[in-house]
């Protein structure tokens, strides 16, 4: 029986295993040093904040793996021998594979800052990082976070629940400026600043970390020369593929493991998925390395089909993503860039008091709807996906917005205001469509 | 779990000063009650009763203010798993023992809180006499004491819940609803009805929102006699009681799911949603618990059906010339209704059930029909060799007292706040059956946005593994869902929405996750 070995039990590796099991009776082994059972990495913050126990973050019960005949090995892979298809592990006897899926994830970026390896300085990606953070912040009162992205915000939220003051060093002139347009970024910034104990320092970078005699961080010095005392430094300037142990002269690695459209690497029977995969040819507007929960899952779904004899290429649909900045929810469908692109027009509606913002992107000429960022109002994925697939016009989107709303029942609706604002700005006379069951918008 | 409890840093686990003051004020109110039970001799009664109840209410409000006011709106679950009370620590177990003890005394030893047969009250019950007299004209009973404290808990923990979830209009409206129904329907109206009695009116104590089989005693002889003998109002109540379960309930459940009752109206649900909110994360999400739930709750339905049928059967006559509803006519009607439901399910809805549910349904149906056959053929006073009154008494003791009270509420801090609703309530089982088969309600999953974080499952008080559905992009259509809406609130990615809509596509057994053009299509 063919033996499929998966290194890494994050969402990519586990999704691959689940689908391979559904489509075949191949022998499946998942190797992970991080934890025996799959847990949701995105939920690590909730353990630290006391919302959930570690067990709560595990989507499948222990008997699931037995029942589905998926072997779990908790160990470090030290070396891969591609010639005789053998994995050498730290404690277990070598494992032979017929097909190897590398789903080894990421590690936090460290850009060679002075003092980046002192005690009390760390990133946040793995369960191990979380345990370390628990120890590192035990007696901390002030923390510095370097890098204003999603993990940085999570870390800030976590630290505030332990009454630790946070100073955020952000290189750009605005929050998450590489991704969010100005208005959106300002909305998030305003929301963050509502939380006591959080200070944002824009256009400020880390120069070096200063430690005490025991090599424990006690302050940072910024590029502008300011010295800020702290007992904890969070490094959240992105993540990069965790591929050091795979580097050699056989497997092609650039930043990540180079893969073809079907996720195969340059060595036969070896595949890479999730955070660690780098597409030789990027898909459309997507980055060559995609470090998102959803794309990891999709790559797992894709590679499973190839391994089970019906080869397919990685073909994600319309871009979507979501996040939560403290209490501010964010969803996006289609590509909203941080600056308008050639030929794009935008319509922004916002309500500062209630912290709501909708940012629509559409084609200047044809009025084809391109994308939306939504803050504070939940939107229906299915409906927006449909509008993107059918090149709906911005007018159609605005008119039917109420049916695309996914907020809980009894929430206040703003569609009337939104339409009025749109009509005023673009000198139109659109009327709100009659409210029907949302599925009537989709092809029957 | 222990690893987490050892690793607490900062102040998340302990209460701040203001919270402690609030807890202290509330505890003072309870201590007054406790002292009263030792006949400390508080006089005047009304003053001490007011002080005690005001302290309990004020303590809850003070704590609420200290916890939520001044903080941004949003989800407030920080430190839930660090606090002893809410994570099955020492305080949790102590609270469990305390509550359980209270229920045991209330149900079985009311003399310890001052009930004196045939004489005036003492202790706690005496303390409540002034309030009872002003409402219904009579001295208090242990049930009046219980009802008052119960209502107080729903009202003030209700306020706490509303402030905690003030960003959500769904929670505000829903909680205002349970508060209203508890205060008006469970507490005030029955007391006023008692006051109206006399003058040809002899109404039983009737909480109108309490529907059979939750109030398994509703068709007991003494109650039916009272209603029949109370003229038009009495007959209206009797008809309302029957219509509640056969007409009103199915219609509302069809349109809104069982939530219209379980988390908007019901008193048990009301207490669970308000006073019990801090314990919702303790529900068991394992598939094993789900299996136990299915067997247990449906056994209770069978139990209550048999015991109610037996009780009604025992007081009906045999002479058709006196009254059309005779013993045998009654059995034929009940048997007919059950057979129709059973046949409908087996013919049209079979595929909606798992195998064990079908076996169970067949088994239960056979038991009920066999039981009725035995009764139809012989006018025995026995059910399966046990005396009818014993069966009825057994239900009242095992289910009515032990399960719904002692375990259902006493074990809030150990098993979560919906133990009774999930494992024991026959009303919830019947509503759930309707919700699963004949309802427009579902929780819609938002395409591919789920990140499997598990907040939804963790905070599901009914122990539904919501995430298991959400991460597959599947709608959640479960018998047990009470529609509290907390899964949707705690979701960080806006994935879940409770909604009512056409049945087409309500249950999607082979869901597709939106956003991936090459998602595997499985059979």
Residue B65: name the closest of B31, B29, B28, B23 by CA: B23
Instruction: Determine what percent of chain A is predicted with pLDDT higher than 90.
Output: 98
Question: Which pLDDT does position B15 carry in this prediction?
Answer: 84
User: Which of B485, B492, B501 faces A408 most closely, judged by CB atoms?
Assistant: B485
Q: Please say whether the beta carbons of A243 and A276 come within 8 A.
A: yes
Domain ranges of chain A: 3-107+240-307, 121-237, 320-441
Global confidence as pTM? 0.94
Task: Quote the CA–CA distance of A3 and A95 in Å, as a whole number.
Answer: 10
From B75, which residue of chain A is nearest by alpha-carbon distance?
A327
Task: Quote the CA–CA distance of A73 and A51 in Å, as a whole number.
Answer: 29
- pLDDT average, residue stretch B65-81: 93
Name every residue whose Cβ is closer than 8 Å to that of residue B292 and which is 6 or more positions away in sequence: B423
Residue B206 in this model has a pLDDT that exceeds 80: yes
Mutate to test the interface with B, among A375, A406, A444 (most CBs of B within 10 A): A406
Q: Is B392 on the interface with A (CB under 8 A)?
A: no
Other beta carbons within 10 angstroms of residue B90's beta carbon come to 9
Residues of A in contact with B502 (CB under 8 A): 437, 439
Question: Which pLDDT does position B386 carry in this prediction?
Answer: 67
Question: Which pLDDT does position B8 carry in this prediction?
Answer: 38
Domain ranges of chain B: 287-426
Start-to-end CA span in chain B (Å): 39
- pLDDT average, residue stretch A176-204: 95
Residue A343 in this model has a pLDDT that exceeds 80: yes
Name every residue whose Cβ is closer than 8 Å to that of residue A203 and which is 6 or more positions away in sequence: A170, A171, A172, A173
Query: For residue range B455-501, what is the model confidence (pLDDT) as tens digits?
Result: 999 999 999 999 999 999 999 999 999 999 999 999 999 999 999 99
Residue A136 in this model has a pLDDT that exceeds 90: yes
Residues of A in contact with B520 (CB under 8 A): 19, 22-23, 301, 304-305
Task: Tell me the average pLDDT of chain B.
Answer: 88
Mutate to test the interface with A, among B169, B285, B512, B519 (most CBs of A within 10 A): B519
Q: Is A208 in a helix, a strand, or coil?
A: strand
Q: Is B288 in a helix, a strand, or coil?
A: helix
- pLDDT average, residue stretch A222-246: 96
Q: Is B498 on the interface with A (CB under 8 A)?
A: yes
- CA dist A61 → A55, B60, B192, B229 (Å): 9, 38, 52, 58
* Chain B stretch 77-106, residues whose beta carbon is closer than 8 A to a beta carbon of chain A: 77-83, 87
The DSSP bridge partners found for residue A363 are A344
Task: Quote the CA–CA distance of A218 and B520 in Å, as a whole number.
Answer: 52
How many angstroms away from the CA of B247 is the closest CA of chain A? 26
Q: Which two tokens stand for residue A187?
A: 């909305």
Task: Quote the CA–CA distance of A400 and A406 in Å, as a whole number.
Answer: 13
Is A121-237 a domain of CATH 3.50.50.60? Answer: yes
Q: Is B446 on the interface with A (CB under 8 A)?
A: yes
Task: Quote the CA–CA distance of A346 and A358 in Å, as a whole number.
Answer: 10
Q: Is B347 on the interface with A (CB under 8 A)?
A: no
Topology of the domain comprising A320-441: Enolase-like; domain 1 (3.30.390)
Query: For residue range B371-391, what is the model confidence (pLDDT) as tens digits?
Result: 777 666 665 666 556 677 777
Topology of the domain comprising A3-107+240-307: FAD/NAD(P)-binding domain (3.50.50)
Report the range of poorest mean pLDDT among A375-389, B10-24, B258-272, B502-516.
Answer: B10-24
Mutate to test the interface with B, among A157, A408, A435, A437 (most CBs of B within 10 A): A408
Contact A378 B169 (CB under 8 A): no
At residue A191's C-alpha, the angle toward residues A188 and A193, to 5°, is 110
Question: Which pLDDT does position B4 carry in this prediction?
Answer: 37
Q: Phi-psi region for residue A365, left (φ > 0), alpha (ψ -120 to 50) or beta?
A: alpha
DSSP label at B113? G
Q: Which two tokens stand for residue A272?
A: 């890479």
DSSP label at A37? S
Task: Quote the CA–CA distance of B207 and A243 in Å, as a whole number.
Answer: 67
Quote the ipTM score.
0.96
At residue A97's C-alpha, the angle toward residues A95 and A100, to 5°, is 115
Contact A322 B522 (CB under 8 A): no
Question: Which pLDDT does position A169 carry in this prediction?
Answer: 96
φ/ψ of A126, rounded to 5, equals -105, 170
* Chain B stretch 272-311, residues whose beta carbon is closer than 8 A to a beta carbon of chain A: 281, 286-287
Q: Is A416 in a helix, a strand, or coil?
A: helix
Question: Which pLDDT does position B2 carry in this prediction?
Answer: 32
Residues of A in contact with B164 (CB under 8 A): none
């Amino acid at each position: 029986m063919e033996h499929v070995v998966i290194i890494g039990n994050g969402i990519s590796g586990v999704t691959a295993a689940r689908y391979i099991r559904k489509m075949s009776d191949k022998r499946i082994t998942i190797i992970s040093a991080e934890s025996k059972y799959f847990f949701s990495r995105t939920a690590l913050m909730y353990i630290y904040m006391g919302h959930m126990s570690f067990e709560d973050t595990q989507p499948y019960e222990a008997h699931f793996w037995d029942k589905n005949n998926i072997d779990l090995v908790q160990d470090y892979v030290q070396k891969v021998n591609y010639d005789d298809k053998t994995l050498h592990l730290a404690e277990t006897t070598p494992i032979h594979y017929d097909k190897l899926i590398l789903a080894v994830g990421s590690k936090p970026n460290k850009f060679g800052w002075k003092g980046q390896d002192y005690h009390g300085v760390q990133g946040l990606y793995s369960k191990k990082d979380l345990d370390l953070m628990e120890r590192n912040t035990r007696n901390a009162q002030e923390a510095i976070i370097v890098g204003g992205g999603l993990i940085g915000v999570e870390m800030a939220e976590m630290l505030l629940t332990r009454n630790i003051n946070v100073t955020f060093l952000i290189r750009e002139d605005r929050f998450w400026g590489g991704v969010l347009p100005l208005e959106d970024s300002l909305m998030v910034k305003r929301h963050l600043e509502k939380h006591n104990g959080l200070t944002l320092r824009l256009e400020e970078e880390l120069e070096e970390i200063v430690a005490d005699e025991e090599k424990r961080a006690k302050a940072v010095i910024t590029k502008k020369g300011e010295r800020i005392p702290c007992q904890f430094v969070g490094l959240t300037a992105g993540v990069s593929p965790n591929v050091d142990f795979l580097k050699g002269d056989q497997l092609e690695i650039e930043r990540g493991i180079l893969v073809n459209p079907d996720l195969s690497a340059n060595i036969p029977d070896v595949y890479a998925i999730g955070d660690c995969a780098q597409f030789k040819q990027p898909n459309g507007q997507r980055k060559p390395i995609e470090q998102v929960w959803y794309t990891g899952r999709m790559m797992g779904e894709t590679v499973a089909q190839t391994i089970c004899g019906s080869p397919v290429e990685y073909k994600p649909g319309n871009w979507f993503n979501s996040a939560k900045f403290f209490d501010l929810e964010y969803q996006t469908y289609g590509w909203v860039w941080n600056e308008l692109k050639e030929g794009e027009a935008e319509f922004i509606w916002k309500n500062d008091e209630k912290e709501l913002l909708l940012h629509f992107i559409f084609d200047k000429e044809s009025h084809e709807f391109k994308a939306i960022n939504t803050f504070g109002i939940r939107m229906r994925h299915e409906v927006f996906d449909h509008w993107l697939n059918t090149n709906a016009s911005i007018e159609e989107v605005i008119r039917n917005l109420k049916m695309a709303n996914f907020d809980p029942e009894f929430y206040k609706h703003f569609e009337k205001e939104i339409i009025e604002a749109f009509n005023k700005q673009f000198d139109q006379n659109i009327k709100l469509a009659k409210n029907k069951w949302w599925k009537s918008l989709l092809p029957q | 779990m222990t690893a987490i409890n050892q690793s607490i840093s900062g102040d998340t686990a302990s209460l701040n000063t203001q919270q402690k003051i609030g807890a202290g004020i509330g505890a003072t109110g309870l201590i007054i009650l406790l002292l009263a039970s030792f006949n400390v001799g508080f006089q005047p009664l009304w003053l001490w009763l007011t002080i005690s109840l005001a302290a309990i209410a004020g303590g809850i409000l003070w704590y609420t203010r200290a916890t939520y006011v001044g903080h941004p709106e949003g989800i407030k679950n920080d430190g839930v798993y660090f606090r002893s009370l809410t994570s099955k620590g020492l305080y949790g177990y102590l609270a469990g023992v305390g509550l359980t003890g209270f229920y045991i005394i209330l149900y079985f030893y009311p003399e310890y809180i001052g009930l004196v047969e045939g004489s005036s009250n003492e202790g706690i019950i005496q303390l409540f006499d002034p309030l009872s007299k002003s409402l219904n004209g009579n001295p208090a009973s242990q049930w009046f004491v219980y009802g008052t404290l119960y209502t107080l808990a729903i009202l003030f923990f209700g306020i706490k819940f509303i402030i905690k979830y003030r960003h959500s209009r769904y929670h505000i409206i829903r909680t205002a609803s349970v508060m209203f129904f508890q205060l008006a329907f469970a507490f005030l109206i029955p007391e006023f009805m008692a006051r109206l009695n006399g003058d040809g009116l002899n109404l039983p104590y009737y909480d109108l929102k309490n529907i059979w089989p939750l109030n398994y005693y509703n068709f007991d002889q003494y109650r039916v006699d009272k209603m029949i003998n109370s003229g038009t109002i009495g007959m209206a109540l009797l008809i309302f009681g029957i219509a509640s379960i056969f007409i009103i309930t199915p219609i509302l459940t069809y349109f809104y799911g069982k939530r219209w009752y379980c988390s908007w109206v019901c008193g048990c649900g009301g207490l669970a949603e308000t006073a019990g909110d801090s314990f919702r994360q303790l529900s068991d999400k394992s598939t094993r618990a789900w299996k136990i739930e299915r067997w247990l709750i449906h056994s209770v339905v069978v139990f209550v059906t048999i015991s109610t049928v037996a009780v009604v059967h025992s007081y009906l006559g045999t002479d058709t010339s006196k009254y059309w509803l005779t013993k045998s006519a009654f059995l034929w009607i009940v048997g007919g209704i059950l057979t129709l439901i059973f046949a409908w399910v087996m013919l049209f809805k079979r595929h909606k059930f798992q195998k064990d549910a079908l076996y169970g349904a067949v088994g239960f149906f056979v038991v009920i029909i066999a039981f009725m056959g035995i009764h139809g053929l012989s006018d025995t006073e026995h059910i399966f060799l046990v005396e009818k009154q014993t069966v009825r008494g057994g239900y009242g003791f095992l289910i009515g007292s032990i399960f719904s009270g002692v375990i259902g509420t006493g074990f809030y801090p150990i098993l979560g706040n919906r133990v009774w609703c999930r494992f024991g309530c026959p009303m919830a089982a019947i509503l759930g059956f309707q919700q699963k088969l004949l309802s427009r309600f579902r929780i819609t999953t938002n395409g591919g946005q789920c990140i499997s974080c598990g907040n939804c499952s963790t905070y599901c008080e009914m122990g539904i593994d919501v995430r298991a559905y959400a991460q597959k992009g599947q709608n959640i259509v479960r018998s047990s869902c009470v529609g509290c809406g907390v899964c949707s609130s705690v979701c960080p990615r806006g994935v879940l929405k409770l909604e009512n809509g056409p049945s087409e596509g309500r249950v999607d057994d082979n869901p597709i996750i939106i956003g991936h053009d090459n998602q595997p299509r499985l059979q």
